[in-house]
Amino acid sequence: MADEMTASPPDAAAAFLKQWHKTTTSTVHVFQEEAGPYKKIELHDFKFLGKNFQSQTYVGTKNGARVAGTEHTGAGVCAEFRDILFKAQEFIFRSYAAEVRSKGETPSESGFTQWCNIGVVSGWQFRSRQHSKGAAIDLDPKTNPYVPTGKTSDPKGALGGEQHAALNGETLGDIRQACLGTYANAFRLVYGEKMAVDAMSHDIKDDTALAYEAMLKVHYAVVVYSQLAFLTTKDNRLDGSFGIGRPLGPETEPGSFLRTLKESGPLVKGKPDADLQKQFNTIRDDYENLRLGMVYGKLKAASPGHMNSGAIWEQATRDPCYGFLTIRKEIAVGLRAAGCRWGAMDFGAAQNGDMMHFDKKWAIEQIAHSDDPNADGLLYVQK
Amino acid sequence: MTLLRVTERTRGLDSWWRSSRPGPSAARSTQCEHGLRGTPPARTEGSTAGRAVAPLHGGAPSTWGAIYDLYQYNLAQELGENFDGLKKLQGLVEFLPTKQPYIGFGESAPVDGTHDDNAEEQADRRVEVLFFAQGQEPDIALLDEDPKVSELYHPDAFRRVNIEGFSDAKSHRRTLRIFLHDEYQRLMVNTEYELTVGTEVRRGTSSNKGDLVQKKVLPEATGTIRWGGQPALNAPTPGMQLSDMIDKLHAAPTFKYKHDLLLSPGRPAPAVEADRYLENLGYTQELEQNWEQFQLDYGMEVQAFPNNDVLSELRKTHRKGLEPPPLEDDGLADPPHEEFEDDGLFSSQLTVQLVDAGGEPVGGEDFEVRNANDEVIHTGTLDDAGTAIVLGLVGDEHFISFPNWDGSSWDIAKEPENG
């Protein structure tokens, strides 16, 4: 990784981190889609960025029916990934300490927790890929979604983002391309300049801080741009609705688009379209385009088809007024410096954009595990 | 005078002299010239200017030009400047807006401060060039109205102070070469910084090697440097509203890192060093109480602060205390690591200085800084003055070496500040 650190973690880290790094353990099965012998791993739960890991419960089934007494609950990450997170947490603490000391303040446990400002830390999950092995974490998934990525200069090039089930490739590509166009429109209006073609295109060789800063600028552009024409939903979730749109105007009407645009003058460095009705419509269209790239789970069309053919979207999406990035830079830098991949930039051009996700790409053989022959032939499923 | 003739021949000084504008004090005869605003604020005797103007009487214009030329040269030499630097300094001097910038001496202003006609004391036959700091000028209206009633030579307003002669007038400013790191000990290239030393604030951008060089820095014992961009808008939070971002989103970034520089090479002041070490060892009172308690705890005869022997013991104890516990059980309980408070992640400053056997600085040499694990955590090159400051190091122990020097050819003259 371009900015992997070789220096040892500080040998005089804050005493409270030693308490945070005391773990509790639980043993869980590794997810698989069919019944048969299972692998089991030991999870380590501890305080990371001020939070303990979210727990999950799964249960054994046979012939589709739940089997009593087979319920398991676990939380945390595997021992190997735990050590990486310990190192990352010390790195992140360094950044926090440097910042507060430059202000003449003293680092503290509560201060560090507040500074990290993380609401949810999710590690092991009973589903496929790295989460199943406890080798991945998601940070505040609600506000750090999987968003489209790619270069605006290369419409035919690979674009990253969430894989939506039941959508043909053309539609998926169109959704991602439309999002990139929205980023560019938002950027131009908010910053008064053209967005760099690679603002949302980064890879494993890139410096974390620089990549983060580029994406953060786009995030803020999206937040401002969307909020000019829409109100922020309460829980960052749009259940198939179009969002809470502002009325166009007039300028004297509190909460209208024209009034908001006027009041937000210092935020808008670009020149809005002379025809403000047209500008208003563009933002509304862009908002709809963008939300389709910021889904919860898997996006489905009620009647499969092209996105521009009046398809009705079944699945809820996130609210573009929230943007897509609330993890602070120092956390992303620290995790990557400790050896993690960041889903935003390390998954490859066709899959980048998973803002919440940090992991280590390990096979189960690289993780301490045990075997469960599963003589009863149970199939474990998430409860 | 040989030099004068050479100057005349080589520069065609007749024409040069006619076209040039003399400096403020070179051609102003033997009268007292007042009204130069600058430093020093006190009245002085026997100034350079007074000595220099004497040979002007009766000389040919070409000689005047040569003298003026040499006069500028000597001024530059004494100030440690080149001609451009001298011109800049001269530009800082301005005349007070008086009707009459000269005052005759003698009875107008005898050295004893009393007005007296026909004063004939030799001491009164003098030239004075008066400088005033901003805000210390005499009442100009009064001076213009009647120099005799001006407070300019009133002993209650301005006091005559004899200043010992300088060996030269160089400012003795220093060059600073500072390496900027982030909290990961990565050199920060092309990074904006702000250096404050005394009243001077300098801003710039670090080089593509992650260092900065500032010349002619005021000779203060301490300074402050800030570097690295910190966005005016705080880190993103869920649900930010437009009102949270107005006046911040597009505002210029502030500085993330700040370090108070100790600009005197070697150890910090004993009080700073002792205070820090005692705190690290767990003493929580004021320095004097900690100092006494430390000696009592370690069975020493109590000595008042400061005392070099006690300080030396304190350094040893501090160093021992921060080392890993001994492998063999000595029968005593090991102190918990937490007892030694974190004395400042990302707060250390390392001043590297190389001097030869004669004490002269050796500039331009490569150096390395290693941590306690013998890992090279920084490499750099000393400045022309043989020094470099390295900021942002993490950890308590750092070791310096000069890879191009034979290990037997240099030695540690002073321990690093960080112990």
- ipTM metric: 0.88
Cβ of A322 and B239 within 8 Å? yes
Residues of chain A neighbouring B418 (CB-CB closer than 8 A)? none
Determine the pLDDT at residue A228.
Answer: 97
Q: Which stretch of A274-288, B197-211, B215-229 has the lowest confidence by average pLDDT?
A: B215-229
**Measured distance CA(A373)–CA(A355) in Å, rounded:** 37
Task: Give the residue with greater pLDDT, B341 vs A303.
Answer: A303
Q: Write down the H helix ranges in chain A.
A: 15-20, 79-102, 109-116, 169-191, 208-229, 257-263, 276-291, 329-337
Determine the pLDDT at residue B64.
Answer: 83
Helices A208-229 and A329-337 pack at an angle, to 10 degrees, of 150
Cβ of A97 and B345 within 8 Å? yes
Domain spans of chain B, in order of start: 2-153, 174-262, 270-409
Among A141, A162, A138, A324, residue whose Cα is nearest residue B239:
A324
B interface with A, Cβ–Cβ < 8 A, is 182-186, 226, 230, 233, 235-242, 245-247, 249-250, 255-258, 338, 340, 342-347, 371-373, 375, 377, 394-396
List Cα–Cα distances, A357 to A21, A131, B79, B265, in angstroms: 21, 10, 62, 47
Cβ of A337 and B184 within 8 Å? yes
Best of A87, A105, A112, A223 to disrupt the B interface by mutation (most B CBs within 10 Å)? A223
Q: Facing residues of A40 across strands? A: A29, A370
Best of B371, B394, B398 to disrupt the A interface by mutation (most A CBs within 10 Å)? B394
Domain spans of chain A, in order of start: 15-144+327-382, 169-322
Cβ of A140 and B343 within 8 Å? no
- Coil, helix or strand for B273? helix
Helices B308-322 and B287-297 pack at an angle, to 10 degrees, of 80
Determine the pLDDT at residue B120.
Answer: 66
What percent of chain B has a predicted confidence (pLDDT) above 90?
11
What percent of chain B has a predicted confidence (pLDDT) above 70?
62
Q: Which helix (H) or strand (E) holds B142?
A: helix B140-145
DSSP state of B264: S
Task: Give the residue with greater pLDDT, A283 vs B117.
Answer: A283
Residues of chain B neighbouring A143 (CB-CB closer than 8 A)? 238-239
Helix, strand, coil shares of chain B, percent, nearest 5, are 30, 20, 50
Contact B356, B385 (CB under 8 A): no
In angstroms, the first-to-last Cα distance of chain A is: 37
Residues of chain B neighbouring A97 (CB-CB closer than 8 A)? 183, 345-346
Among B34, B71, B42, B73, residue whose Cα is nearest residue B54:
B71
**Measured distance CA(B98)–CA(B140) in Å, rounded:** 6
pLDDT tens string B402-411: 877 765 555 5
Helix, strand, coil shares of chain A, percent, nearest 5, are 35, 15, 50
Residues of chain A neighbouring B347 (CB-CB closer than 8 A)? 101
Determine the pLDDT at residue A276.
Answer: 96
Task: Give the residue with greater pLDDT, A343 vs B264.
Answer: A343
pLDDT band at B116 (very low <50, low <70, confident <90, very high): low
Average model confidence (pLDDT) across chain B: 70
Q: Which helix (H) or strand (E) holds B2?
A: helix B2-11
Residues of chain B neighbouring A208 (CB-CB closer than 8 A)? none
pLDDT band at B167 (very low <50, low <70, confident <90, very high): low
Q: Which stretch of A49-53, A102-106, B328-332, B346-350 has the lowest confidence by average pLDDT?
A: B328-332
From B214's Cα to the closest Cα of chain A, the distance in A is 22
Determine the pLDDT at residue A220.
Answer: 98
Q: Minimal Cα distance from A321: which residue of B?
A: B239
What is the pLDDT averaged over residues A261-282? Answer: 96
Cβ of B345 and A224 within 8 Å? no
Cβ of B344 and A267 within 8 Å? no
Cβ of B371 and A14 within 8 Å? no
- In this predicted structure, the answer to whether residue A275 has a pLDDT above a threshold of 90 is yes
**Measured distance CA(A86)–CA(B37) in Å, rounded:** 62
From A131's Cα to the closest Cα of chain B, the distance in A is 24
Q: Which stretch of A28-37, B40-49, B342-351 has the lowest confidence by average pLDDT?
A: B40-49
Task: Give the residue with greater pLDDT, B34 vs B387.
Answer: B387
- In this predicted structure, the answer to whether residue A306 has a pLDDT above a threshold of 60 is no
What percent of chain A has a predicted confidence (pLDDT) above 90?
70
Q: Which stretch of A336-340, B285-289, B332-336 has the lowest confidence by average pLDDT?
A: B332-336
Reported pTM: 0.67
Q: Minimal Cα distance from A228: which residue of B?
A: B242
Alpha-carbon Rg for chain A in angstroms:
23
Q: Cβ of A42: how many Cβ atoms within 10 Å? A: 19
Q: Facing residues of B379 across strands? A: B368
Determine the pLDDT at residue B299.
Answer: 87
Q: Facing residues of A160 across strands? A: A149
Contact A69, A32 (CB under 8 A): no
- In this predicted structure, the answer to whether residue A36 has a pLDDT above a threshold of 70 is yes
Contacts of A381 (CB under 8 A, 6+ apart): A58, A59, A61, A126
Q: Minimal Cα distance from A17: which residue of B?
A: B338
Cβ of A267 and B245 within 8 Å? yes
Task: Give the residue with greater pLDDT, B73 vs B42.
Answer: B73
Q: What's the distance, CA A357 to chain centroid?
A: 6
Give me the residue from A12, A220, A236 closest to B345, CB to CB. Answer: A12
Task: Give the residue with greater pLDDT, B319 vs B228.
Answer: B228
Q: With the C-alpha atoms ordered B301, B305, B309, B315, is the resulting torsion angle positive or negative?
A: positive
- Coil, helix or strand for B257? strand
Contacts of B411 (CB under 8 A, 6+ apart): none
Give me the residue from B183, B237, B246 closest to A264, CB to CB. Answer: B246
